[in-house]
Amino acid sequence: MDEVFRENNFKNEIIWHYRRWTAGSGAYQKMHDTLLFYSNSQSFKLTPVYIEATEGQKKKHNKGWDRNSVNIDGRRQPQLLVYDQNKVDEAVKKGQINLDEYARVVIVDTGKTIAPDVWNINYINSQAKERTDYPTQKPEALLDRIIRASSNENDIILDAFAGSGTTLAVAEKLGRRWIGIDCGKLAIYTMQKRLLNLKSEIGNKGKKLKPKPFALYHAGLYDFSKLKQLPWKDWRLFALHLFNCRDSKHTVSGIELDGYRGRSDVLVFNYQQDGGVVLDYGFIDDLHAMLGSKVGKQFFIIAPAASVMFLEDYIEKGSVRYYILRIPYSIINELHNRDFEAIKQPIDESQVNDTVDAVGFDFIRTPKVNCKYSIEKPKNQLLEYTTIKISTFKSEAMLKGASQLENRESLSMIMVDFNYDGDIFNLDKVYYASEIEKNGWKVFLPVEGIKGQMMIIYLDIYGNEYREIKRIEDFSNSKQVQAEDK
């Protein structure tokens, strides 16, 4: 935070104190989190937060108080309860107001006082209307205080680790615009459901609130099957942007090149030319013969992996190294001086908020799924359940190490919408892979919970999905269902 905002823009350490039942242990019970309040400059907005004054404060400040003792612009200070930050700041500079005395006036007239740097806000209890069952979910009251204090209506609120979407939900209720970011699919679906089922009051109470239109973007994930259908003009532009290259056509020794990566030349290999061509050693030889020393020490060629006829990431010719950037492929390790690591999805609740410093990009590849759908009564249970038995789950992700994973090792979770409306997936229940494995790779769904049709999403650890739509009658017979890669 000091690096991003600079040390002199650190304003407050705020303690969020809460009470919740915790198990006894050999340490003091953990009942607080820490908020760090930074600004991006010395000029920033902060609207004071008022909380209920204690009876002791009220008695102390009411005793012997002269309401006419402090004025601003010839007005009595109690009128400032219609708060105007600019006028108060100006009055403080001119010595017309003492903030300690101003706080005293507020207590006398309203029974409230300016909040200290310790905030007592209840944790979310198990029966709260706002509860989403997302690990580490924060209460709306906490974000309500932060957003009100730090922004105006129509300002943009950014939450780069959006989780259950509390920030976005509260921002929507307070008339702010918002941007939420998260690398977890569970977080994305939790947020989507929450925003589509908002209530107008903090704590998710009151009347239903229809959110303003919003969009869901998948950054760094691409549908390879659709990419192959792109016309050459669009493919070329996609390839350049994928590897952060500048689109700048230029010519060297009569050869038309497509752009630059840094200061190095870039060629997008036209695999569609003449009905389909390949990039082999001969192509590199011919290219070097024409370019030779007229290019720098490195030259980049972007090409589909299937069109490249050799395995090396680069070919050296004289003083020039020709790098091959394959699609689909992670950006090669040497360019980053570290191994590529994909963002991974959790297999149990404890991993939901684990983060990884990922490099590169990935392509959407539907997992291979083989399941048996039936109705059975689990041991020691009185009721029957619709049951999914996973016999095969295999990720098709084109990432380092993915193909070496054993059967079902790449499963992250199964998410279910028990009343799918045919349009938007509305997450009702999540089953983590660790839990499914303990149950013999079975998922038990309550029969009474299925209303009409339901959608089942099978998610691999790389974020790829396979989706099924099922009705209760699909579970009537013990039958094997093969989920095809579509």
Tens-place pLDDT, residues 317-366: 989 999 998 886 544 444 544 444 556 777 776 676 665 555 556 677 78
Q: Is the pLDDT of residue 70 over 60?
A: no
Predicted TM-score of the model (pTM): 0.66
pLDDT at residue 86, as a whole number:
62
d(CA 150, CA 38): 11
Q: Six-digit token pair at 438?
A: 């303990």
pLDDT at residue 269, as a whole number:
94
Residue with structure tokens 């612009």?
73
Q: Six-digit token pair at 380?
A: 């020691």
Q: Torsion angle of alpha carbons 32, 142, 199, 416, nearest 10°?
A: -40
| 149-158, 333-342, 416-425: range with lowest mean pLDDT | 333-342
What's the pLDDT band for 87 if we cut at 50, 70, 90? low
Residue range 367-401, pLDDT digits in tens:
999 999 998 887 777 778 889 999 999 998 766 67
Residue with structure tokens 């997008």?
268
Residues paired with residue 70 on neighbouring β-strands, in sequence order? none
Residue range 184-243, pLDDT digits in tens:
888 899 999 999 999 999 999 999 999 999 988 877 677 767 777 888 899 999 899 888
Cβ-in-10-Å burial (0-12, 13-18, 19+) of 167 comes to buried
pLDDT at residue 65, as a whole number:
47
What's the pLDDT band for 474 if we cut at 50, 70, 90? confident
Question: What percentage of the chain has pLDDT greater than the value 70?
Answer: 77
pLDDT at residue 96, as a whole number:
64
pLDDT at residue 339, as a whole number:
47
pLDDT at residue 199, as a whole number:
93
Q: Report the candidate in 375, 461, 457, 386 with the shortest Cα–Cα distance to residue 417.
A: 457
pLDDT at residue 201, as a whole number:
93
Do residues 199 and 129 make contact, with C-beta atoms less than 8 angstroms apart?
yes
Q: Is the pLDDT of residue 310 over 80?
A: yes
Supply the DSSP symbol for 347.
Answer: S
Q: Is the pLDDT of residue 418 over 80?
A: yes
What's the pLDDT band for 105 if we cut at 50, 70, 90? low
The alpha carbon of residue 12 and the mean position of all alpha carbons in its chain are separated, in whole angstroms, by: 26
Residue range 429-465, pLDDT digits in tens:
999 999 999 999 999 998 887 888 999 999 998 888 8
Q: Is the pLDDT of residue 122 over 50?
A: yes
Pairing of strands 177-180, 156-159: parallel
d(CA 279, CA 316): 15
Most confident of 13-17, 60-64, 217-221, 348-352: 13-17
Query: For 256-337, where are the alpha helices, taking DSSP H only?
Result: 281-291
For helices 140-150 and 166-173, angle between their N-to-C axes, nearest 10 degrees: 60
What's the pLDDT band for 485 if we cut at 50, 70, 90? very low
The alpha carbon of residue 340 and the mean position of all alpha carbons in its chain are separated, in whole angstroms, by: 20
Contacts of 302 (CB under 8 A, 6+ apart): 239, 240, 242, 243, 245, 266, 267, 268, 269, 325, 327
Q: Report the candidate in 266, 244, 245 with the shortest Cα–Cα distance to residue 257.
A: 266
Do residues 117 and 15 make contact, with C-beta atoms less than 8 angstroms apart?
yes
